[in-house]
Structure 1
Amino acid sequence: MSQTWEGADPPDLPPIDALGWLLVALRAPVMVVVIFGCLGLLLLARLIERPLFGARRPVTPLITQFVCRTVLVIMGLPVEVRGQPMTGPGAVVANHTSWLDIFVLNSRKTIYFVSKAEVSGWPGIGWLARATGTVFINRDRREARAQTEVFEDRLLQGHRLLFFPEGTSTDGLRVLPFKTTLFAAFFSDKLRHQMQIQPVSVVYHAPPGTNPRFYGWWGEMEFGPSLLRILAQRRQGRVVLVYHPALRVDDYANRKSLARALETQVQDGHIAELGPLDPEMS
């Protein structure tokens, strides 16, 4: 995320009860062992993978995918998939609700996230991001040329990059306007005639009887309390991933028209699954 969305007040959620804390005590240690145990395995595998394959990663993304699927199972959060992930070179864009998106999107397809540079220095999360091949950038127009070169290098090596054009997470009930800056990289001479971008709608259905914004993460919310609340939930909701048809970059005149077309598909998929935004939640 590049900034924090402040468009709505956080939901008033009940405190974690005794059973919830028991679930946290059961789930959290298993999750830590899976994540950091597999991180060690991934780093060892990378020591062999890097000399043999260079920037290509035929093995380690499978470990990442296993970790993400396992973490979601530990949480008890099911993922439903609609549509087909694209094949061939290109990128993916999606709406952004929560830190959960990283696990959900990584669990279904090999992708490499594009993230703001500050994340690389975050304890724990930064280590995981670097180990799994995340692309770190500064959202600064003055660095547009350097960003284009990074995108060209990774995409032409067959890496499928994923970024969140909204530039922030939300309450999960809406899709914010897409920022267009990063789309400029796809119009370079090396990319525009062979790249495609697939829009994905990520839609969270809250657990029965809870606030519809249960899975959202925005404003001044902190990661720790959000994680604890989800681990303490005895009955989870579900996540729906809607993979829309990929769009070819050279079918569009510029970054703004491409971003608008992608935003429309993500927005339409979100509304079709969750329904129009309740005016009281706007």
Structure 2
Amino acid sequence: MSDWRSDRPALRAIGAAGWARAAVKGIAMALLVYGGLILLLILRQIERPLCGLARPVTPFITQGVCRGALAILGLRVVTEGRPMQVPGAVVANHGSWLDIFTLNAVQRVYFVSKSEVAGWPGIGWLARATGTVFINRRGSEALVQQRLFEERLRAGHRLLFFPEGTSTDTLRVLPFKSTLFAAFFTHGLEHALHIQPVTVTYSAPEREDPRFYGWWGDMDFGSHLVKLLAAPRQGRVRITFHTPVPADGFAGRKGLAARCEALVREAFPPEPVG
């Protein structure tokens, strides 16, 4: 049986109608995303000197753009539960670059991403402008990153982590890595924070591969985006908000990570074998 990481969905011919859909939707999304980015950058010039790290206005622009992008794409979003109102962070399973849009559409958060994303054409620029926290996977950077997380959390930013450390084919949840959870146990921060686990579940369009929305390994972003834009129909994504977990209810990061992983798995469909 092949490893899911090396198995790829078969590519279908797009056809003239598909290319037309991709062009129309692609132009609309580009105008929305980069138009929103320009507005965000202008308003951020006012926010920064007045509010410092706080962003009382611009996260609403990011959320509106993400909602609009999903509407253009035609992906239906279903939510269960509610985003927490208390201070803290969010952890979720990670299946696709689409998670950035779907999770931002239903709540105002700041993503934590690997440092390589900062240099990606187009995407890196967007990520930096919207306040993404970039992390370096080298162990020598752990303390620096922990201080950065603490600074952002104390500023009231709701950081969103993907504890699996990588994206998947959307059909499984990988074991949560506990390293990033250490940021919640510094200088008494655990007594003020709750962590909300969130389950993201994609349902492919009818007659499409169940992994339709998955984006993993060395899959090319451009071709994946075109495939989604060209599709004649879309599926849906279900976002399940679980009850927030108090960080100080656990002795350390490993127990907290295990509990969050268990909650995310509870709302996830049975995983395929292999």
Distance 1:278 1:144 in 2: 34
TM-fit CA distance, 1:6: 6.1
Distance 1:210 1:124 in 2: 29
Asked if structure 1 preserves the Cα contact closer than 8 Å seen for 2:172 and 2:272, the reply is no
Distance 2:92 2:72 in 1: 24
Alpha-carbon deviations, 1:193-212, whole Å to 9, x = none?
11110000000000001110
Aligned to 1:247: 245
Q: When the two structures are aligned, how many residues end up with a matched partner?
A: 272
Letter in 2 for 1:278: P
Aligned to 2:121: 123
Asked if structure 2 preserves the Cα contact closer than 8 Å seen for 1:10 and 1:219, the reply is no
Asked if structure 2 preserves the Cα contact closer than 8 Å seen for 1:98 and 1:215, the reply is yes
Asked if structure 1 preserves the Cα contact closer than 8 Å seen for 2:80 and 2:239, the reply is yes
Alignment equivalent of 1:214, drawn from 206, 212, 215: 212
TM-score relative to the length of structure 2: 0.97
Runs of 4+ in 1 over 3 A off after TM superposition: none
Q: Structure 1 residue 35 and structure 2 residue 33: aligned?
A: yes
Distance 2:137 2:117 in 1: 13
TM-fit CA distance, 1:11: 1.1
Alpha-carbon deviations, 1:250-272, whole Å to 9, x = none?
1011111110110011111112x
Alignment equivalent of 1:13, drawn from 11, 14, 18: 11
TM-fit CA distance, 1:24: 0.6
The more displaced of 194-203 and 114-123 is 114-123
Aligned to 2:179: 181
Distance 1:259 1:36 in 2: 36
TM-fit CA distance, 1:141: 2.5
Aligned to 1:278: 272
The more displaced of 206-215 and 139-148 is 139-148
Structure 2 residues not aligned, in runs of 5+: none
Distance 1:34 1:28 in 2: 10
Aligned to 1:202: 200
TM-fit CA distance, 1:18: 1.9
Asked if structure 2 preserves the Cα contact closer than 8 Å seen for 1:152 and 1:190, the reply is no
Asked if structure 2 preserves the Cα contact closer than 8 Å seen for 1:195 and 1:248, the reply is yes
Aligned to 2:24: 26
Aligned to 2:78: 80
Alpha-carbon deviations, 1:183-241, whole Å to 9, x = none?
11111123111111000000000000111010001122100000000001111000000
TM-fit CA distance, 1:118: 1.6
Letter in 2 for 1:182: L
Distance 1:18 1:90 in 2: 48
Aligned to 1:52: 50
Distance 1:150 1:220 in 2: 29
Asked if structure 2 preserves the Cα contact closer than 8 Å seen for 1:200 and 1:241, the reply is yes
The more displaced of 185-194 and 64-73 is 185-194
TM-score relative to the length of structure 1: 0.94
TM-fit CA distance, 1:134: 0.5
Alignment equivalent of 1:235, drawn from 217, 221, 233: 233
Letter in 1 for 2:151: D
Aligned to 1:147: 145
Identity %: 57
Letter in 1 for 2:258: R
